[in-house]
Amino acid sequence: MPKMKTRSAAKKRFKVTGTGKLLRRDTMRAHKLEKQSAKRKRKFGLAKPVTDADKRNVLRMLGKR
Protein backbone atom coordinates (compact mmCIF):
# COMPACT_ATOMS: atom_id res chain seq x y z
CA MET A 1 0.00 0.00 0.00
CA PRO A 2 1.43 3.45 -0.92
CA LYS A 3 2.18 6.13 1.63
CA MET A 4 -0.46 8.76 2.31
CA LYS A 5 0.57 12.23 1.18
CA THR A 6 -0.14 15.26 3.31
CA ARG A 7 -1.77 18.22 1.66
CA SER A 8 0.69 21.07 1.41
CA ALA A 9 -2.01 23.67 2.11
CA ALA A 10 -3.01 21.90 5.33
CA LYS A 11 0.52 21.53 6.68
CA LYS A 12 1.01 25.28 6.26
CA ARG A 13 -2.21 26.18 8.06
CA PHE A 14 -2.59 23.69 10.92
CA LYS A 15 -0.36 22.57 13.78
CA VAL A 16 -0.65 19.48 15.95
CA THR A 17 0.48 20.05 19.55
CA GLY A 18 2.35 17.51 21.62
CA THR A 19 -0.87 16.47 23.34
CA GLY A 20 -2.63 15.95 20.00
CA LYS A 21 -4.69 19.15 19.84
CA LEU A 22 -5.13 20.82 16.46
CA LEU A 23 -4.50 24.55 16.22
CA ARG A 24 -5.31 27.03 13.47
CA ARG A 25 -4.74 30.73 12.80
CA ASP A 26 -7.57 33.22 13.11
CA THR A 27 -9.40 34.70 10.13
CA MET A 28 -9.85 38.40 9.29
CA ARG A 29 -6.11 39.11 9.61
CA ALA A 30 -5.10 39.87 6.03
CA HIS A 31 -6.34 43.36 5.17
CA LYS A 32 -8.65 46.21 6.24
CA LEU A 33 -6.93 46.28 9.60
CA GLU A 34 -7.27 50.04 10.16
CA LYS A 35 -10.98 49.59 10.91
CA GLN A 36 -10.38 47.09 13.68
CA SER A 37 -9.49 47.92 17.24
CA ALA A 38 -6.02 47.21 18.62
CA LYS A 39 -7.51 44.75 21.10
CA ARG A 40 -9.16 42.80 18.31
CA LYS A 41 -5.98 42.74 16.23
CA ARG A 42 -3.95 41.46 19.19
CA LYS A 43 -6.39 38.58 19.63
CA PHE A 44 -5.80 37.51 16.02
CA GLY A 45 -2.20 36.61 16.84
CA LEU A 46 -3.23 33.73 19.10
CA ALA A 47 -3.73 30.23 17.73
CA LYS A 48 -7.23 28.84 18.14
CA PRO A 49 -8.32 25.20 18.39
CA VAL A 50 -9.97 23.52 15.42
CA THR A 51 -13.66 22.77 15.99
CA ASP A 52 -14.75 19.20 16.66
CA ALA A 53 -16.75 19.16 13.41
CA ASP A 54 -13.60 19.85 11.36
CA LYS A 55 -11.05 17.72 13.25
CA ARG A 56 -11.64 14.57 11.22
CA ASN A 57 -11.13 16.37 7.90
CA VAL A 58 -8.04 18.23 9.09
CA LEU A 59 -6.42 15.05 10.40
CA ARG A 60 -7.11 13.32 7.10
CA MET A 61 -5.54 16.20 5.16
CA LEU A 62 -2.47 16.03 7.40
CA GLY A 63 -2.16 12.30 6.74
CA LYS A 64 -2.66 11.35 10.38
CA ARG A 65 -5.65 9.03 9.84
Q: Which amino acid is at 48?
A: K
What pLDDT is stored for residue 22 in this prediction? 95
Residue 2 belongs to a domain: no
Q: Report the CATH number that the domain containing residue 27 is assigned in CATH.
A: 4.10.410.60
pLDDT per residue, tens digit, the chain (65 aa), is 788 788 999 999 999 999 999 999 988 888 889 999 999 999 888 899 999 999 999 999 998 87
What pLDDT is stored for residue 29 in this prediction? 86
Q: Which amino acid is at 60?
A: R
Q: How many domains does the chain have?
A: 1
Residue 33 belongs to a domain: yes
Is residue 43 within 8 Å of 25, Cβ to Cβ?
Answer: no
Residue 13 belongs to a domain: yes
* Domain that includes residue 42, residue range: 8-61
